[in-house]
Amino acid sequence: MKLICDNCGAAVDVRSVACGECGADPSAEHLRLRAALPPYKSGTNGIAIASLVSSLVGLFFLPFVGTVAGVVLGHLARRRIANEPQDGDGFAIAGLIIGYLGIAVWMGFAFLFFWLSRVVPTVS
């Protein structure tokens, strides 16, 4: 197991007598050694999952509302994942991609609908 020297930040073996970089004595009062463990990941970010789900719902059931919510939640999740050690970046990216594609598809349908309503003459 490796420890981190608070004096210089170097990795120190538990059985060593002194830090190999700065020579600090591990038993000295001013030197605290802490475990060099990877940061604890608290699981998958729930906002990232909500981004993916709302983007999928917006794509098929709630046009525009769900996809915009998916995009907003995806950006929020990516910001939180960058600041906190959590999983779920893939969910957030998928939510963003599906959300942006959904917005483009629904805007295309809306444009096509309005364009056709002006171009095609009404039957009376």
Average pLDDT, the chain: 82
For residue 11, the SS3 value is strand
User: Is 102 within 8 Å of 69 (Cβ atoms)?
Assistant: no
**pTM of the entire predicted model:** 0.65
Q: Express each pLDDT in 98-112 by its tens digit.
A: 999 999 999 999 999
DSSP for 62-99 reads STTHHHHHHHHHHHHHHHHHHHTT-B-HHHHHHHHHHH
101 membership: H or E segment, kind and range: helix 89-119
**38 or 96, greater pLDDT:** 96
Residue 27: per-residue pLDDT? 57
